[in-house]
Amino acid sequence: MPSVVARPAPAATSTASPLSPRRPSISLLSRNIDTVILGNVEFETWYYSPYPDSIILSSENPPTNLRNGELNGRTLSPSADSAASTTCRVLHVCPYCFRYTPHKLAYVVHLRHHEQLRKQDFDLPPVPASAMPVYSHGGYSVWEVDGETEKLYCQNLSLFGKLFLEQKSVFFDTGGFLYYVLTYTPPEHTFKSNATNQEHLHGDGREDLGLKTEVLGFFSKENPSWDSNNLACILIFPPYQHRQLGKLLMSVSYKLSGWEWEGGVIGGPEKPLSVMGRRSYLRFWSERIARFMLGESADADGRKVFDDGKKRKGRKAAVMKKALTVKEIGERTGMLAEDVVAALTEMGICEMMTPKKARLKKGGEVNGVGRTAAVTGKDVEEDVVTMIVKRSKVAEWVQKHNVDLHDPVREAGFIGEWAMSEAETNSEDIEMEEHDGQ
């Protein structure tokens, strides 16, 4: 799958007039930081981020009054930053709290503070104490952080994320957002990182910094979202991309929208999407529909599209024909109708049939789209566009694109209000064992 964020071409330089009283668009500003060091990993930045110049460009005068591992990263306001005229060569970013400094000495002192905390509690995760776990499976965990409660953490996380996101506008007013932070904890005593293109500050990896668990990325969403968006922005940090982690976060965002339950919301990511964002979501939506069509993951009703549900001795269940509107597919996958259409078009698995006349009563629906009859209340005729999707076409698409039909997240991994009942969890485990035994 293409990464949620792929490395772009070099950023354009500013074209604003020097006499203009307004600053140039943030999307046109040149990078103001060359590289970042996150924990013990150094990598290049891609875009400008509005870190305050007074801090990141003060490399000649390192602070001398550090207390309790303090670093820059105070609560900021939009007026705290200014247009970058020069560049910070290296910015050190704390892998625990995302505070930042251009000074290596201050960075080392700050990390020692976190190391002391983790000597007292080795399992302390690199997220704020108020963070709530919502998912945990296979070493991967997702934590919910309230942008109102943890403003400083979320501001620093947003500033760091902007270094790799071209279209991100919320950095300081985080109170209206929830942040979902992805972490990974490897098996005990295996502290070798799999990230590529890394340069370590010293030693052989994370154990030098006490990093048992590391942050890999995050997504955010409005709280609440009046447009039913389940995601505002998403980022997997560059060293950890191309590992299907973007799909994992996308799946979590759909689960947390509660679309399967009464009163839940069927939604999608905030639009318009960036070029890379749309490409990633089209692949995610297409795979989601393929799993639904082939019955490899349960939909809201636990039904399979191409199976009549009758088991016959010595042979597989009979393939059946089933009529579904676009809206019904969306309701059984948690997707918006427009996203279903976009995915089916991208997959190229539909055969169009000649439109037929269908009688429609007032307030009825055709293909999942509500239509209103004439004011007279009489029945009207509508042209119904029918598409045929064959199981063989779906299977061919899956094989051609090397799609894993298992969902990126395991239902049993969700925690708290998002967890399934014990019966449902046991049922899923049995189905997985049967699948693995085939």
Q: What is the CATH number of the domain that holds 96?
A: 3.40.630.30
Instruction: Please say if 270 is a catalytic residue.
Output: yes
Cβ contact 365:371 at 8 Å: yes
State yes or no: pLDDT of 66 exceeds 90: no
The predicted structure's pLDDT at residue 262:
74
User: Based on the number of CB atoms within 10 Å of its own CB, is 25 exposed (0-12), middle (13-18) or buried (19 or more)?
Assistant: exposed
One domain for residues 306 and 179? no
Label residue 386 by pLDDT band (50, 70, 90).
confident
Question: What mean pLDDT is predicted for residues 219-223?
Answer: 94
Specify the amino acid at residue 225: S
Out of 260, 270, 346, 424, pick the active-site residue.
270
Query: Do β-strands 350-352 and 140-146 pair in parallel, antiparallel, or remain unpaired?
Result: unpaired
One domain for residues 97 and 243? yes
Last residue of a domain, one of 250, 270, 290: 270
DSSP letter for 108, please.
H
pLDDT tens across 285-294, in order? Answer: 999 999 999 9
Residues contacting residue 30 through CB under 8 Å, at least 6 positions apart: 11, 12, 13, 14, 48, 84, 87
The predicted structure's pLDDT at residue 167:
78
Residue 178 lies in a domain: yes
Higher-confidence residue of 305 and 286: namely 286
Percentage of the chain exceeding pLDDT 90 = 46
Is residue 171 helix, strand or coil? Answer: coil
One domain for residues 342 and 361? no
One domain for residues 340 and 361? no
Q: How far is CA 134 from each of CA 144, 160, 199, 249, 413, rounded to the nearest angstrom?
A: 7, 23, 32, 12, 8
Label residue 233 by pLDDT band (50, 70, 90).
very high
The predicted structure's pLDDT at residue 238:
97
What tokens were used for 194? 């799999």
Q: State the average pLDDT for the chain.
A: 76
Range of the domain at 362: 350-386
Judged by phi (left if over 0) then psi (alpha if -120 to 50, else beta), residue 51 lies in beta
The predicted structure's pLDDT at residue 133:
96
What tokens were used for 25? 């668009």
DSSP H stretches of helix in 313-358: 326-333, 337-347
| H helix or E strand, kind and range, residue 431 | helix 422-437
What tokens were used for 430? 């049995």
Residue 5's nearest CA partner among 188, 166, 209 is 166
One domain for residues 322 and 377? no
Which residue has tokens 């990182």? 193
Residue 245's nearest CA partner among 180, 338, 157, 168 is 180
State yes or no: pLDDT of 337 exceeds 70: yes
The pTM score is: 0.76
Domains in the chain, number: 3
